[in-house]
């Protein structure tokens, strides 16, 4: 992993838990807040948080176009959890605007409000699996359309909760809030 330079987008959201998971996976990640900090980064995590706020901060700091361009040229692997997954996907009828990096439509807060948050088992088909792991769903989004070129990585009760397209992974849950670093380790190998 000497050629892996991992980072967490540290504008808002679940930054520290992702940093811990990356450390547990054997890398020394950095925090990215400005475009120049993205130079040399090969693997970036967009954490859960509040998607409208994250989108606003992307635009404010000029990171939206830079991240999209780097992903499209193949020089950046991307993992988005919860709000990060929302921003990576599509949804023509919901705010905030999406980056369109994975061919999925993603509904915000699809499982309900904060009080409806829960922990449940996630069944991995591919990626870090096969097997199960704990999934933490906090005001979680839901994939409502999955394009033909998207791999389903994990399900919960027959519902897709993690997907991959090329070097982009999107999860409806928070893997960083568990003690299982398998997803982060697998992501670093992309």
DSSP string covering 136-161, please?
EESS--EEEEE-TTPEEEEEETTEEE
What was the pLDDT predicted at 30?
97
Q: Is 119 among the domain residues?
A: yes
- The C-alpha atoms of residue 63 and residue 130 are separated, in whole angstroms, by 34
Q: Is the pLDDT of residue 147 over 80?
A: yes
Question: Residues with catalytic annotation?
Answer: 82, 174, 176
- Domain carrying residue 126: 6-188
Q: Is the pLDDT of residue 1 over 60?
A: no
Q: What CATH number has the domain bearing residue 132?
A: 3.40.50.880
Q: Is 93 among the domain residues?
A: yes
Q: Is the pLDDT of residue 153 over 80?
A: yes
Nearest alpha carbon to residue 81 among 49, 42, 40, 103: 49
- Token code pair at residue 58: 């992307």
Q: Is 1 among the domain residues?
A: no
Q: Is 122 among the domain residues?
A: yes
Q: Is 149 among the domain residues?
A: yes
Q: Is 20 among the domain residues?
A: yes
Between the ranges 38-47, 49-58, 87-96, 102-111, where is the mean pLDDT highest? Answer: 38-47
Q: Is 108 among the domain residues?
A: yes
Q: How many domains does the chain have?
A: 1
Q: Is 54 among the domain residues?
A: yes
Q: pTM for this structure?
A: 0.94
Nearest alpha carbon to residue 89 among 104, 78, 79: 104
**Which phi and psi angles does 69 have, rounded to 5°?**
-65, -45
């Amino acid at each position: 992993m000497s050629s892996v330079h991992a980072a967490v987008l540290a504008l808002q959201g679940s930054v520290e838990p992702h940093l811990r998971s990356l450390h547990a996976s054997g890398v020394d990640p950095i925090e990215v807040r400005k475009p120049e900090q993205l130079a040399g980064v090969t693997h970036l995590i967009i954490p859960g948080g509040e998607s409208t706020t994250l989108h606003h901060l992307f635009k404010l700091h000029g990171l939206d176009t830079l991240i999209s361009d780097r992903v499209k040229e193949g020089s950046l692997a991307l993992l988005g959890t919860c709000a990060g997954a929302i921003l990576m996907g599509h949804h023509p009828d919901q705010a905030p605007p999406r980056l369109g990096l994975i061919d999925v439509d993603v509904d915000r807060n699809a499982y309900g409000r904060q009080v409806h948050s829960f922990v449940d088992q996630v069944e991995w088909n591919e990626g870090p699996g096969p097997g199960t792991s704990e999934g933490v769903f906090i005001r979680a989004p839901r994939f409502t359309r999955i394009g033909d070129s998207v791999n389903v990585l994990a399900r919960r009760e027959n519902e897709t909760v993690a997907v991959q397209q090329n070097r982009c992974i999107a999860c409806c849950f928070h893997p960083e809030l568990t003690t299982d670093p398998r997803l982060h380790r697998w992501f670093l190998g992309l």
